[in-house]
Chains A and B, each alone.
Chain A
Amino acid sequence: MAVLSPAKTTKLTSEDEPAVKRSKGGIAGRLFQWLSTAAGLTILVTLAAVAGFLILRAWPALTASPAELQEISWFKADSLLSYVGPLIFGTLLASVLALLIAVPLSVGIALFISHYAPRRLAQGLGYIIDLLAAIPSVVYGLWGALWLAPVLNPIFEWLTSSLGFIPLFAGYQPPAKNILTASIVLGVMILPIITAVAREVFLQTPRLHEEAALALGATRWEMVRMAVLPFGRSGLVSASMLGLGRALGETMAVLMILSPGFLYSFFLLEPGQHQSIAANIAAKFPEASGLSVSALIATGLALFVITLVVNMFARWIISRRSEFSGAN
């Protein structure tokens, strides 16, 4: 069977190319491979279709002159690029802050569940975390606006009054509908996703590695650092990317929490400074028609491109570490 010739998988090397003939699975094997390849190709086609659709719908806006674009009531920038710029900035700022909040916490939770908590407790906790991944973004939005914002209010007031000389914390205005609140909600939102994947990955650490580390007299933390974390690193990056993907594209929660604005601003506590692309589309789309729809879809295209760039970057990080995997 041609399929089974050398280097047939990404990781299996020639050592598992035994002399035994495995022709038993002839047609079925071929069919199975064909099916899975077709599934892979579907992804290619789908994505090409989405990209094509985005470009097609965005084209009128991409080719329109600034003067034409400025006829749109909300379009106050000089060009499409200078309109999208602050949106990209806001989207990235919110997502990066969310990741900064969520990743350390998720690793902590995942480690706690996989290696620290008693078994029974761990099972229940894992279950609760899984459930949280399913809470609709609308509810995160409601929770952020109605519960979290009042809780954060005194903290932010304190921050801006005592640390207000740092631009990051200056200019707070109640209620807490600023980018930091939105980021915290996004962080909480992607926490269950990152945790769930990280936990599964940590649980898959080869037991032998762990026991070897402990047998050498390692403390639990040393064992985690030497055996668990290196093993889970690639999975962790994947998990973070999943989380980042959700944070970048999150619509409803940001829409309901953030007081939007279109500036390049590091005033995290001031309202009306930032906006994310997805929330902007959702806010403007219902009343948009004609060219303004195209302009909105062009911002969607920009988000698509950002995701592309961010993922390239992540790939590059993983590829430097890819040799460590269970299937090697």
Chain B
Amino acid sequence: MGKTVKRVNNRSLASIALVGALAATLTACGADATTSGKTTDAGKDAATTEAAADLSGNLAGAGATSVEKAMGGWIAKFGETAPDVTVSYAGGGSSAGREQFLAGGILFAGSDSALKPEEVTSAVDRCFGGEAIELPLYISPIAVVYNLPGVDAANINMSASTIAKIFSGQITNWNDAALAAENEGTTLPDLAIIPVNRSDASGTTKNFTDYLAKASDGVWTHEASDDWPISGTQSGNGTSGLIDTVTGAEGAIGYADASRAGDLGTVALKVGDAYVPFSTEAAAKVVDASPRADDATDKRLVVKIDRTTTEAGTYPLVLVSYSIACSTYDDAADAANIKAFLSYIASPEGQELASDAKVAGSAPISDALRTEVQAAIDSITVKS
């Protein structure tokens, strides 16, 4: 026994040393990932810096996961100009975000769909007698992605009704005549099509099904919905899960935030008589070409995307995510923080940052829209 104990003790010593080393690492001060560069480009927009420098406090937001990446960039860059404001954004889902916002848990929400009428009503209470403002600050093209390694063409062309036929199981093979007719000069393989959808409730699905319902000339018989209406399909959880599923099987086709398409092929949509591949410009253009929702106001800039637009160079399959805030806050610091943060997001720098393919690949809002957005932001007041 004694021998065993001795051997064990040696090992214990070693492990104690290991534990100690780790503890030392942990107790050492955790460093910020980015410390340098904080001052380098702060001079560029001295006005913002000056205004933002005296801001402080917590600015908590939550909501749609679609804007999470862009929000990460915005929070990081905004933090450089207003280092004393702690902005956080928890991507728990649009509904969760709206609910928390209306319950007063957070100061702003991100949502892939606009507030429902009853939510607009209850927002009055939450906003201290003011109203909710909804700003379309994140416009993101949705790509129809496919996994066909053998096809060299930059894009496969499809009309909305072809896509609807594929996703509803009426076209089951890539060598189908309907596909061949739209893609002259491209040989599509004899391979079963595996449609892949999102398995979780998602704004991406809602926009995709909305597009199919409106633009497919009646081929798609389901309504727009957060949930995929057809059962018995391959599906993936979240954008990552969907991309992994499409990547996992040759012949698979799915839909996802365009910035995540990666090496997968993307479909060019038929708009008018031409086929338009996704691009941030085309996505921004469709938003400008679309009318406002019937109940939109100058504070609730809700866009009703025109899925059937025939205007050249537009890409109608886009997701618009709204930043939702209050027109009135009871706390001066809150109001100032939210104003500064939303102004930054709406600013050309903010929009450009998010449109970088490395950040979120979204479409920058147009100057006309920015003017309206800024007016709404400027209307944020403190409750007197």
Judge whether B244 is part of the interface by a CB distance below 8 angstroms: yes
Binary A-proximity of B182-204 (CB < 8 A = 1, otherwise 0): 00000000000010000111110
Partner of B245 from the list A259, A262, A282, A286 (CB cut-off 8 Å) is A259
- CB-CB contacts below 8 Å: A132-166 with B: 145-146, 149-150
User: Does B226 lie within 8 Å of A259, measured CB to CB?
Assistant: no
Judge whether A5 is part of the interface by a CB distance below 8 angstroms: no
Shortest distance from the beta carbon of B292 to any chain A beta carbon, whole Å: 24
Q: Contacts A74-B201, A287-B95: A175 and B234 contacting too (C-beta < 8 A)?
A: yes
Measured CA separation A73–B234 after assembly (Å): 20
Residue from A145, A149, A273, A282 with most neighbouring chain B CB atoms (10 Å): A145
User: Does B231 lie within 8 Å of A286, measured CB to CB?
Assistant: no
Partner of B96 from the list A74, A146, A286 (CB cut-off 8 Å) is A286
- CB-CB contacts below 8 Å: B201-254 with A: 201-203, 225-227, 231-237, 241, 244-245, 248-250, 252
User: Does B245 lie within 8 Å of A175, measured CB to CB?
Assistant: yes
Residue from B92, B94, B98, B241 with most neighbouring chain A CB atoms (10 Å): B241
Q: Specify which chain A residues have a CB less than 8 angstroms from the CB of B202 in the assembled complex.
A: 287
User: Does B199 lie within 8 Å of A286, measured CB to CB?
Assistant: no
User: Does A174 lie within 8 Å of B235, measured CB to CB?
Assistant: no
Shortest distance from the beta carbon of A277 to any chain B beta carbon, whole Å: 14
Q: Which residue on A lies nearest to B91, using beta carbons?
A: A286
Q: Specify which chain A residues have a CB less than 8 angstroms from the CB of B237 in the assembled complex.
A: 255-256, 283
Q: Which residue on B lies nearest to A260, using beta carbons?
A: B199
Measured CA separation A194–B272 after assembly (Å): 61
Number of A-B contacts (CB under 8 A): 95
Measured CA separation A289–B96 after assembly (Å): 7
Partner of B249 from the list A174, A261, A272 (CB cut-off 8 Å) is A174
Judge whether A284 is part of the interface by a CB distance below 8 angstroms: yes
Q: Specify which chain A residues have a CB less than 8 angstroms from the CB of B194 in the assembled complex.
A: 173-174
Q: Specify which chain A residues have a CB less than 8 angstroms from the CB of B233 in the assembled complex.
A: 259, 261, 271-272
Q: Which residue on A lies nearest to B102, using beta carbons?
A: A289
Q: Specify which chain B residues have a CB less than 8 angstroms from the CB of A145 in the assembled complex.
A: 241, 244-245, 248
Measured CA separation A57–B16 after assembly (Å): 48
User: Does A283 lie within 8 Å of B201, measured CB to CB?
Assistant: yes
User: Does B234 lie within 8 Å of A259, measured CB to CB?
Assistant: yes
Judge whether B364 is part of the interface by a CB distance below 8 angstroms: no
Q: Specify which chain B residues have a CB less than 8 angstroms from the CB of A260 in the assembled complex.
A: 199, 235
Shortest distance from the beta carbon of A196 to any chain B beta carbon, whole Å: 20
Judge whether B99 is part of the interface by a CB distance below 8 angstroms: yes
Q: Contacts A286-B200, A287-B94, A289-B98: A256 and B241 contacting too (C-beta < 8 A)?
A: yes
Binary B-proximity of A251-289 (CB < 8 A = 1, otherwise 0): 000011011111100000011110000000011111111
Q: Specify which chain A residues have a CB less than 8 angstroms from the CB of B249 in the assembled complex.
A: 173-175
Residue from B227, B237, B252 with most neighbouring chain A CB atoms (10 Å): B237
Partner of B92 from the list A263, A273, A286 (CB cut-off 8 Å) is A286
Partner of A283 from the list B99, B199, B225 (CB cut-off 8 Å) is B199
Q: Contacts A146-B244, A150-B248: A287 and B234 contacting too (C-beta < 8 A)?
A: no
Q: Contacts A149-B248, A256-B241: A173 and B92 contacting too (C-beta < 8 A)?
A: no
Q: Specify which chain B residues have a CB less than 8 angstroms from the CB of A288 in the assembled complex.
A: 95, 201
User: Does B234 lie within 8 Å of A177, measured CB to CB?
Assistant: yes
Judge whether B141 is part of the interface by a CB distance below 8 angstroms: no
Q: Which residue on B lies nearest to A267, using beta carbons?
A: B232
Shortest distance from the beta carbon of B121 to any chain A beta carbon, whole Å: 14
Measured CA separation A260–B197 after assembly (Å): 11
User: Does A73 lie within 8 Å of B244, measured CB to CB?
Assistant: no
User: Does A273 lie within 8 Å of B95, measured CB to CB?
Assistant: no
User: Does B226 lie within 8 Å of A73, measured CB to CB?
Assistant: yes
User: Does B201 lie within 8 Å of A286, measured CB to CB?
Assistant: yes
Q: Specify which chain A residues have a CB less than 8 angstroms from the CB of B241 in the assembled complex.
A: 145, 256
Q: Specify which chain B residues have a CB less than 8 angstroms from the CB of A262 in the assembled complex.
A: 231
Measured CA separation A46–B232 after assembly (Å): 39
Q: Which residue on B lies nearest to A287, using beta carbons?
A: B201
Partner of A261 from the list B96, B203, B232, B245 (CB cut-off 8 Å) is B232
Binding site for B on A (CB under 8 A): 73-74, 145-146, 149-150, 173-175, 177, 255-256, 258-263, 270-273, 282-289
Binding site for A on B (CB under 8 A): 65, 92-96, 98-99, 194, 199-203, 225-227, 231-237, 241, 244-245, 248-250, 252
Extra pairs beyond A255-B200, A287-B201 (15, CB < 8 Å): A146-B244, A255-B237, A256-B241, A259-B233, A270-B232, A271-B232, A271-B235, A272-B231, A272-B233, A283-B201, A286-B65, A286-B95, A288-B95, A289-B98, A289-B99
3 tightest Cβ-Cβ pairs between the two chains A and B: A286-B93, A175-B248, A287-B201
7 pairs from A and B in contact (CB 8 Å cutoff) = A73-B225, A73-B227, A145-B245, A145-B248, A174-B248, A256-B237, A260-B235
